[in-house]
Every structure is written in C-alpha cells, then in structure tokens.
Structure 1
Amino acid sequence: MTAITAPPATTADAFVPERPAHRDGNVLRWLSAYAASMVGDNVYYLALSWAAVRAGSPAQAGVVMAVSALPRALLMLGGGVIADRFGPRRVVIGSDAVRCVAVLAVAALLWRADPGLWPLTVLALVFGTVDAVFTPAVGALPARVTSHGQLTRVQGMRGLAIRFASVVGAPLGGLGVALGGAAAAFGIAGLLIAVSVPLLISVRTRELPPEDASGGATTAWQDLVAGLRYIRGHRVLAPLMLAIAFGDLGFVGPLNVGLTLLADERGWGASGMGWVLAGFGTGAGLASLLLAVRGRLPRAGRLAAYTIFAGSAAIGALAYAPNLAAAVGVALLVGLLAGLSGALCGALLQTQAEPARLGRVTAVSSLVSLGFAPLSMPLSAAAIGAWGTGPVFVVSAAVCGLGGVVALAAPGLRRAELPH
C-alpha cells in the first residue's frame, strides 16, 4: 500500500494572495452564498415537515421526511465523482439553481391549491438527489477559492455559517408559516437559495495544475475506484475517515433521539431540551470561532484525539447531570469539545486531500455522517427503552471515544499538522 500525503502548496496556491480569509472578498462572497443557501435549507426542512403533517398522518409525514435520505445515501459517492470531474463551483451553482426552482414550484402549487402529499414527496426526492451532488461539491469548493494556508480558517468560518443558519433558519421558517402557511415558508426558502446563485457566479476559482486536473479519459466508475483507492492508501485520510465514523456513530444517537428521551425522563420538557441544545450550539460555535480567528492549532492530529476523548466523556456525563442547569453546562462542554474535534477533522480533511480528489473525499466522509450515522438513532431509542438513558449514553460515549483511539494509534494522523 503506497503512503500518499498532501502535495505542498505550489503554483496552485499562487492564484489567491496569502491574506487572512476573513479579509478576502472572494472568500466572503463564497461564505455569503453558503450561508444564504444553508439558511434556505433550514427553512425548507421546517416548511416540508409542517406541510407534510398538515397534509397527511404523522406516519405519512415521517415517510415524506425520510424520502430524501435514500437517494442522498445511494448517490453520494457518484456526486463526489461529478464534483471532481466538472468542478465544484459549476456543480454547486447548478445544484442551487435546481433546488431553488423545485422549492419555488412547490410554493406556487401550494399557494394555488391543496394538492396533498404527492408534490411534497416529489420535492423531497428531488432535494435528496440534488443534495447527493451538492454536498461533495460544497466540501471541495473552499480549496478552489482560497490558498492552502487559509483552509483551516475557512473551515472555522464555514462552521460559524452553519451555526448562524441553524439559529436563524428555524425562526424564519416559523415566521413564514405563521404569516402565509407552508407556501410562504417554501417561498422564503427558495428565495434564500436563489440569493446564493449570483454570489457563486461572482466567486473566482483557481485552476488545478495539469498533473492534478482530470483529463476526462477515464470513466466515472474508474474515477470513483481511484478516489477510494486514494483514500485507502493515504496515511492521514484513511484513519481520519475511521475516526469520523466512530465519532458520528457515538454522537448522533445521544444528541438527537437520546436527548429527547432524556428530557422527557427528567421532566425538563421541550423548553428544557431547547436550553440544552442551545448550550451545545453555543459550544460548537465557540469552537468554530476559535479556528476562524486562530487560523490553525498546533499538533492538530493529537489535539483532535484528545478532544474526542474529552468530548466522549462529556457525552456520557450528560445522562447523569443532576439538574437542568448542570445539563446545559455539560452540553456546552460537549459542543465545545465535539465542535473542536469535528472542526479539526474537517480542516485536516481539507488540507490533506489533493484538490482534484476533494469531491470524492468529501463524499466518503459525508456518506459516513449523513448515510450511516443516522442509523444509530433508532438503535439508540430501542436501547434506551430496554436499558435506560444512562447505560446507552455511556456506550455511545465509548463508541465515540474509539475515534480518539484510532487518531492516536495511526502515526500519520497523530502527527498531522495544519498548514501555516
């Protein structure tokens, strides 16, 4: 097995001056487009959930919400190939345009009539299919809009945009529903996604060196196989994917289904659960802010492992918090540690992968996070029903901690550094 490392920054990085990303107009245009699109996504999911519940039974609404997951999981790896072959900027622009048209079409349909569940199901299917292409392209785009040394800071800025979207999107969607029903909320989502398109068109991307660019002589299947072999043979990316997988599998269940059941068990109610989630979101936002301001953290591989361990311990402790105030404090710690480890893993992925293969690399990591990790949610719910919240949170924490074990056991990942 050949050990492959990320190439040094050479002519590929000469396109963008080495300046802080937060002062780079090109990066800021990309970030604005990304934030607008993500806020639109949050509004869309709230509108879809509301419209599906109003149009059918809770079970039918659940089916509509789950429809997008299947094509996204099945087509994600192919989406990475498309992003690398055609360029992430072009793919992101096309994906946002399709998503915008689809959402606005359903908004117009709901405004004129009450067609039932079928347009919502079609919309969810289209959105999931497009997401399979959009997600890898979004992950591959930062390496084309900034210099290699600023990718870590951009990762932190992207994390802040995600937190902003989650804070703003849900209330904005709720306001749309209150003022004009699901049609108005879908309209807001479509317009927000539309805002991203001209911003993305204005973003300049650097070309890859000839030796890194795809020559088009290979088939899509050959590109996919080559991408998987590249990850498997990489001394940092291969263990990093495994660490991400363990971290997500141990994290998703407790912080989604498990937290709801814990709040119900302790009598915290929906407002209490909201405070716990706010604590987690605040911690994760602080972690992204740290990375955005500092630009890099030394000994990134070791630091990622240590924060995974500490975050795992905090996840296990959450189930034993004596009261709501303590639970909010622990959740803040979970968000800070898990957010920092996640940001470091994302930054290492961005900086270690060759830009020409970053779409496929992002596709694999996204498939783990969006395709496999959610499978832990029904398992966590069933296990909590059988053994209670405490033991399940502890087991989940142990699974999450295995990511730290992988990071320390793999020399390449343990010694990995972020670029200056």
Structure 2
Amino acid sequence: MLRHINHNNRLFMLGNFLFALSYGLWMNLRQLHLGDLGATPVEVGTMLGIVALAGGLLPIPAGLITDRVGPKRVLIGAWIVAALGTLIAALATNWPMAGIGFAVFMLVIAANPATVTFVLLNTANIEAEGQAERVMATVFASWPAAMIFAPALGGLIAQQWGIGTDLWLGVLGLVAAVLIVARATDVRPAPTDTRVDARTLLRNRRFVALAIFYPLALVTLEIGYVLAPTYLEAVRGYAVGTIGALFSVLSAGSLLFNYIVGKARPRVSFVVLIGAVWLGTFLIWQSSHSAGTGIAFALLGAISTMWLLAQTSVGQLVSPQQRGLALGVTETLGWLAIALASWLAGQLYEANAAHDLPLIAGVVAMLPVLALWLFSPLAPPAFQTETNAAPAVTTASSQPAAD
C-alpha cells in the first residue's frame, strides 16, 4: 500500500508518528498527573471536560482557514501551539496550571480538519471505491504504531523520573515533528465557481446524518473510558507503569481496527467499532483478571478508529472546497461530546463507593446508539462522494491563496 502514498503523505506519516510518540508518553497519565498535583477525582473529571472543550473551540474557524489558504500552514501552526501547551504543563507546579497547559495543547485539535484535508488532497484516484479509506487507514496507522510503545515507555519513565519528564520529552518530539512536516509541499483545493458555504452543508443530508450520529455515539463511547486510568489505579490497584502498558495494548488494537476499516464498508465498520467498545467497557467493569483488562483495552482501541472512519466519511461526502468547514463542524461537535462525557464521568465516578457508574452508563447507553445506527434512516446506506465536486487540488505554486 505504501506505493500509493506520495512524498507529502510520507512526510506527514513520519511527522504524525513523532507527534504520537511525543503525546503518547503522557496523554494517558494526565488524570494521574492532575491527581498528583492535588486534584480530586471530581476536579480531574471537570478539568478534563474543560480540556475537551478547548479542543472544540477552533476546528470550525481552522477548517474555514484551511479551505482558504490550504492545510499545511494550519497544520504547522497548530502543532507549534501543541508544543507550547506541553511546555506549560511541564513547567506547572499545581493542577490548575497543568490543566491550562493540557487545554492549550488540546487547541491542536484545530489541525484535525487540516490533516484529513491534507491527506485526501494528496491521495491519487480518490474517487475509486475504498481508495480514500485505504490511504487514510495506512497514513494514520502511523499514530497507533507509535502509541503501541509510547504509553508503556511513558509509564516506565514516569515511575523512574516522574510524569514531568515525559512532558519535557514531549516538547522536544513535537518540535521535531513540526520541522519534518514543514518540508512538505503546500497543497490547496482547486478554485471553483460553485458556491460553497454552511447552507450547502445543511442541504447535504448524508453529512447532517453523520454529524448528528457521530457526537451522539462518542458520548456513549467515552463516558466509561475517560476515567478508566483513575478507576484502575484507585479501585483495582494498578501501577502507573501497568496502566501505560495497557494503553500500548489499546494502540495495538487501534492498528487492527484500522486494518478492518480499510477492508470493510463504513456501515459495517461502525457496527464493529461500537460493538468492540461496548465489550471492552463491559470487561473493565466485570473482569477482575489482568488478561481480561488487557483484552478490554485492545477493544477500546476502536475509539480512535471511529474518529478516522467518521472524518474520512465526512471528507468524501462534501466537495474538496468545503472539506475543511465540514471536518471542522464534526470535529467541534465531537469534542463537545467528549467534554460532556468527561464531566458526566467525573460526577458518576464519585456517586457510589465502587466508582463503576461511568462504566455502567457506557455499557447501557451504547446499546440504543447501536440500534439507532442499524435500524434508523439516520444512518446512510453507504458513503459516496458528491457527484458535482469540483477538481480537488492545486499546488501552492500554481494557485495563490484566495484574497
């Protein structure tokens, strides 16, 4: 499959790998780091909700800018902000300041519409059935590939030298990732006389259906997952290093689910992914054996693949000239959903002595969402590109940015 990946996408794969490696050292230790700095579980849940809200602030304006000036500059700018946020968290001596650093880092979500747009604009023969899914699954496999060992490595580093060391290493890795992606050629959507704006998106029924379903599903997927590290440490007695290793298992699961998405139809893939997260959440709740917990985390790897599938589908449902806006809308709605799930998880976690209500809520809530996808007309039978889409791409050297 790599022979179908052009030079730009290969540079992005390498940069994305370094970004994931740098982030993966500490991303799943945020809850524990905030706790170490004095935050209670309720405060941790609330802060993670605020962090998620920060992720939802900029995708729509960033998507509009992407449509106007191309994805490369948006991507690089957002990654620089991510490095700054990690630096703030590394310097923090109390949990509110660390939370601010994590929130600043999460502004990098503004880059997500640009990253998907960048990869799709650099995908040849995108109209061929399954081509976009195959390229996206291959390029973005660089993320779980790094995450297979990054969380375990981060956990070991944290046990020896503290989570702060992970954060400092993360700063260095993010700077390196920016320098690599900066070498890519700038690409932009080709100009078109067709009017493309928010009203055009609202008339796209398939887009509206997915924009409704994806955040709804995400709340149910995240509510049992977001405080899983806190639950495993406080209730099950898991060490930080063990929790880091579990997230490496999760990333291995993500690689497997990426492969499935590259082979199966989107409608079937959604069912597989939601079913996997349901079973993983159930196992964390019910299994007291370490093997069961390991299987659960492998299944929870489907959550990140859900994002890949949803955003790839959105990118195909709209014309290249409005792809940034469409991806920005779904990204914002997705992070609002995660913020809601994080806040709910924090409230439910403290509501009983067993601290298992977030897991129970996830297990129960996913079932009607799965039924909705299977039996409701909300779910489109297949994802298809718009037939009236304008030409996809020009290089920056041949097409100046719009005024």
Q: What is the TM-score normalised by the length of structure 2?
A: 0.73
Residues 86 and 167 in structure 2, CA contact (< 8 A), matched pair in contact too: yes
Assess, with a 3 A threshold, how the Cα gap between structure 1 residues 30 and 201 changes in structure 2: closer, same or farther: same
Question: Which one of the candidate residues 155, 169, 172 is aligned to 1:191?
Answer: 172
Partner of 2:364: 395
2:382 maps to 1:415: yes
Q: What is the identity, as a one-letter code, of the residue corresponding to 2:383?
A: A
Q: Which amino acid aligns with 1:41?
A: Y
Distance 1:138 1:23 in 2: 15
1:230 to 1:175, Cα distance in 2 relative to 1, 3 A: farther
Counterpart position of 2:9: 27
Q: Which residue of 1 aligns with 2:389?
A: none
Alignment pair present for 1:154 and 2:135: yes
Normalization by structure 1: what TM-score?
Answer: 0.71
Offset at 1:192?
A: 1.0
Residue pair 2:206, 2:317 contacting (<8 A) in 1 also:
yes
Mark the CA change 1:168 to 1:283 in structure 2 (over 3 Å): closer, same or farther: closer
Give the 3 Å change call, closer, same or farther, for CA 238–283 of structure 1 in structure 2: same
Q: 1:30 to 1:275 in 2, by over 3 A?
A: closer
1:372 to 322, 330, 337: 337
Displacement, 1:33?
Answer: 0.9
Q: Do the aligned partners of residues 49 and 317 (structure 1) sit closer, same or farther apart at CA in structure 2, a change above 3 Å counting?
A: closer
CA displacement at 1:286 relative to structure 2: 0.6
Give the deviation of 1:414 after TM superposition: 0.9
Distance 1:131 1:399, change over 3 A: farther
Question: Paired residue for 2:215?
Answer: 245
Matches of 1:30 and 1:316, distance apart in 2: 32
Contact 1:307 1:341 in 2 (8 A): no
Q: What SS is found at the alignment partner of 1:256?
A: coil
Find the aligned partners of 1:41 and 1:274 in 2 and give their Cα distance. 13
Larger helix percent: 1
Q: Percent identity?
A: 16
Measured after TM superposition, the shift of residue 143 of structure 1 is 1.7
- Whole-Å separation in 2 of the counterparts to 1:415 and 1:94: 35
2:117 pairs with 1:140: yes
Corresponding residue SS for 1:195: helix
Cα contact 1:232–1:238 (8 A) shared by 2 = yes
- Pick closer, same or farther for the CA change 1:65–1:317 going to 2, 3 Å: closer
Paired position in structure 1 for 2:56: 73
Aligned equivalent of 2:79, options 88, 91, 96: 96
Q: Alpha carbon RMSD of aligned pairs, Å?
A: 4.3
How many pairs align? 375
Gaps of 5+ in 2: 387-403
User: How far has the Cα of 1:319 moved from its partner?
Assistant: 6.3
In our comparison, the structure showing a higher alpha carbon Rg is 1
What are structure 1's unaligned runs of at least 5 residues?
1-18, 215-222
Aligned counterpart for 2:105 among listed residues 119, 127, 139: 127
Q: Which moved more, 1:325-334 or 1:364-373?
A: 325-334
Whether the aligned pair in 1 keeps the contact of 2:284 and 2:293 (CA below 8 Å) is no
CA distance in 1, matches of 2:83, 2:69: 21
